[in-house]
Every structure is written in C-alpha cells, then in structure tokens.
Structure 1
C-alpha cells in the first residue's frame, strides 16, 4: 500500500453493507460508506471515477458470479470486497465453502487493481452476534490470511468496540445508520494512509438505558417490521435484492 496515495478510480463490490443500507437520503435511496469514501477520494483526483456493484441480500457465491468479473474488467486503482456475512448469519452455512468463494473473488480482483481492500465486518452487540460469533471469527480469520496471500489491506471493523454500539445501527438491527457509515468511511480513509479527520473508534457518549416498556415496544416493532418479513423471505427462497440492479454499475466520473 502506498501511504497517502492518490487513487483515480474506485470499484466497490459486495452486499447491502456496501450498497449503503441504511444510510437513507431524502429521496429514499441510500448513501453509505462507499459513496462517502468516493466523494473524499474524488476531491484529491480530478476526473475520479466510481462504480458500486453492490446489491442488498447477495450471498458470497452471487457476489463472485455476478460482480467479481465485471469489477476486475474495470481495472480500477482501488477495489473493496466485502461479503460472506449474509451467508454466515443463515441458520445453515458451510463456512469453509464461503471462504473458498471469497478466495475466488480475491484471486480475480487483486491482479486487476493497485489496491484491494477487505474488511472484518462490524457486528451489533446482542444475542444474534453472540450466537454467530464463532462463524464470524472463522470468516474474519480467513480474511486476514487472504489479505496476506493477495497483498490486500484489511480494515478491522469487527474489532472496533464502538461499531458494536446499537446506537450506530438502524432499526432493522442488520445495517448501520448514517453515523455508522460515516465512521466506516473514515476507517477506510485512514487505512489507505490518509490523514485522520476524526477518531472513528471514539465511543459514543454515555446514555441512560431505555426503560423496560420502551425496550419491549422496540422489540415488538422490530419483529413486526423487520424480523417477520426477513423470515418470510428465507422460507420462500426470496431475497431483498432479487431483480435489483447494481447501485452504480458503470465506472463513471463521480458527481
């Protein structure tokens, strides 16, 4: 990695995390860490180009089959690859197979760019993360080795305590909110060797815990609006990304 390097193009590959859910904009679309990072990189490089091939709900096999070849063909300076978490959060998952497909993606992308960036994805504190923590740690240990083999950079978001704070997550408890995405963009920015704008690991101020009634009401709303629809999609074999095109499918000047 070149410290403080100037990148003239950036392609982001992945799922909802990279698409930008749930950093919502007034028009109903999503921004997210990749868009925020692209905006900052564009300030340093006139004519900077950006593509975001991410689609919500995609499993690692779909990311490899539907995004990796296209991203590699673009020949961007900088490529980010984040995937596999949708797989390991499912009730049944072959983590070794997930790792093998991730290796396939990295092997295709690393030779095509000047810098490949991988991530240890963040996890929201709570019973869901604890249930799946062994799988997540297995995946992220593999990511570390993958980076060594392919000369990639790893941004450790999983190890940042602040990104587990529920206040940085949306109501669906699966996606970061605007402040969470802002911190991820800063984490990648600093990992690329640029001067810090702020301490993205800084804990949030202490806050009084919500009362029992408020917590139960929040749990009920979460179950009704997010958990039950998610279960319904799993049972029917559908995905939130079915039929949805990539967020930004062509490597075009950033505006």
Structure 2
C-alpha cells in the first residue's frame, strides 16, 4: 500500500521496538515504532496501532509469543525486527534465527499485510569490545535480505551507512538507540514504505562531533561501559534471566494515536 494509507499497524519485536532508550519507565517508552505510527497518523488520523514487542526476547520467542496475536489483529502494516538478542548469545545459528523471521514474514504477508524489517549495524563499531560478533551480524543480515526478498518485505538496509554507528544516536548502554536514533529508524522505515514526505535524508552522516573521544579517553569510556552495562548483562545471562522476564506488551490492542503532533520527530 504505497503512499501510507494504512489503518492497522502492528509492531513485533524486542527491546528496540518496545522503545528502550527513548523515554523511561516512569513517563513511558516511545521508540521508533511509536514514532512511525505518529508519522502515518499525520496523513491517516484513523490509524490504529498495537505494539507487541517485549525486551529480551529471542527471534524464536518473538515468533512464538507475538505472531498469533498479531495475525488476530489483522494488520495491513506490520514491522518485524528481532535477532540482536540471538547474536549476543553464546550459541548462535543464523539460519535458525532467519527461519523464525521468515516464518513471520510469510504468515503476515499471506494474510495481506505490508511488512517491513531492518538489517543491523556493525556492533563492533558501536561497542569495540563486541567486534568478535561482527561476522554474526553480517551472516544474519544476508539471510534477512534473502528472506525479505522471497516475501516482498520492505527492508531498511542500514548496514552500509556510517550514521547508524555514530555514537550520538545510541544510548549509554550501546545496545539501544537514543531518542535521536529512534527518530532515525522511524524515518528510515517510512522511506522504505514510501510514506508521503519521506526521503533518504536518514542516510546522511551527522555533522562532525567535536566531543568525540580518542586515545586514553576512548579506552576509559570502554572500561566504564564494560563495568556499567556489559558486566550486569553477563550476570543475567549466567543466571538464565532476561530483562523481559514477567513483562507484557506495552500496547497489545489496536488503539488510535491520540495526538500525532504531540511528539515531533527530533
């Protein structure tokens, strides 16, 4: 449905789609999917939007827990973004992860939904300590592109653009986009869907950063990040816990966007 005439949008995924890094637990999380819904609602005020995403889920868990509820909502637009949590696990099988994503692509498109997804940036350029995971991201991205092509799914292929690894679009934990990053993702998906007013400006690099860390300052920043974020994450993994344990979707029903102008894309 080129041109953005969507009426029922359902977002499936993990923490990025839930909106971590954009808002907080007190005021509520916004995130790129909320921002995309706001963009659509500017031209289609009758849009109804549901967000089934829950942080910490693997791709297979997203499929198991969210696909059936999504199909029951009969969306004409769906976004499916998952797989980063799989990349971070000790055991990783790109074919298995892509298989879960493709099953969701197939089921949603077979029901008539327009579907969009993302590829993932080079984790090692965001968090240098994660460089050994870069081949996993490359492998998963290749399979996402192939699966999307088989089902006519729109792909935001962010990997080739340096802006997606600019530290200024990432939150302090380097796993979740900051508000600026969530706005960029929403603009990128809008462009992939050919929404009115969208363009490729999201691919443009940000202006030079005079505060960028280099040398010892950069090493110090890495060590602080490891102690503040990487360490606690590893402890959760060793204990078999997930950040999403006991959590439910923040917006499980299709609801109107109350005021699409209340949160400008910044």
Q: Helix, strand or coil for the counterpart of 2:79?
A: strand
Corresponding residue for 1:192?
193
Cα 1:203–1:65 shift into 2, 3 Å: same
Corresponding residue for 1:170?
171
Q: Helix, strand or coil for the counterpart of 1:42?
A: helix
Deviates more, 1:233-242 or 1:84-93: 84-93
Partner Cα separation in structure 1 for residue 170 and residue 115 of structure 2: 26
**2:239 is the alignment partner of 1:236:** yes
Corresponding residue for 2:78?
79
Cα 1:66–1:127 shift into 2, 3 Å: same
TM-score normalised by L of structure 2: 0.88
Unaligned runs of 5+ in 1: none
Corresponding residue for 1:106?
105
Unaligned runs of 5+ in 2: 259-266
Partner Cα separation in structure 2 for residue 19 and residue 242 of structure 1: 14
Aligned residues: 254
Superposed displacement of residue 46, structure 1: 2.8
Partner Cα separation in structure 2 for residue 58 and residue 200 of structure 1: 27
Partner Cα separation in structure 1 for residue 171 and residue 224 of structure 2: 13
Superposed displacement of residue 113, structure 1: 3.6
Partner Cα separation in structure 2 for residue 109 and residue 131 of structure 1: 34
Partner Cα separation in structure 2 for residue 26 and residue 230 of structure 1: 19
Superposed displacement of residue 157, structure 1: 1.7
Q: Helix, strand or coil for the counterpart of 2:115?
A: strand
TM-score normalised by L of structure 1: 0.92
Partner Cα separation in structure 1 for residue 27 and residue 219 of structure 2: 28
Superposed displacement of residue 40, structure 1: 1.3
